[in-house]
């Protein structure tokens, strides 16, 4: 059985970091319904500034496993925050 190359793990970790930004941003915008327009604009600005470093970070980490675990944890925490909101 052949193993998956390390760069494939890092690519998945980069996509998980991007997904974490999307999920956390959705949770933040959903958390402030009265300020939806301002929250959406603020989230877009912050997400645009953080997207590239967050995705490149997965390639800077020492091990691909660390990048996968942290990326998955960020997505799960953001998803949990989105689910528990009223």
- Asked if residue 27 has pLDDT above 70, the reply is yes
Please report how many Cα atoms fall inside a 13 Å half-sphere around the Cα of residue 67, on the Cβ side.
24
Under a CB-based contact definition with an 8 Å cutoff, are residues 20 and 78 in contact? yes
Per DSSP, the chain holds a count of helices (H) and strands (E) of 3, 0
How far apart are the two ends of the chain, measured CA to CA in Å? 47
Tell me: the pLDDT tens digits for 36-48? 777 777 778 888 8
- How far apart CA 27 and CA 46 sit, in angstroms, is 14
Rg over CA atoms, the chain: 15
Q: Kindly state the average pLDDT of the residues 21-37.
A: 80
pTM for the model: 0.81
């Amino acid at each position: 059985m052949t193993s998956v190359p390390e760069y494939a793990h890092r690519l998945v970790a980069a996509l998980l970091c991007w997904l974490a930004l999307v999920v956390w941003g959705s949770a933040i915008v959903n958390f402030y319904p009265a300020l939806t327009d301002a929250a959406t604009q603020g989230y877009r600005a912050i997400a645009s500034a953080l997207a590239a470093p967050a995705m490149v970070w997965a390639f800077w980490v020492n091990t691909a496993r660390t990048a996968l675990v942290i990326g998955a944890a960020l997505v799960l925490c953001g998803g949990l925050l989105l689910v528990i909101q009223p």
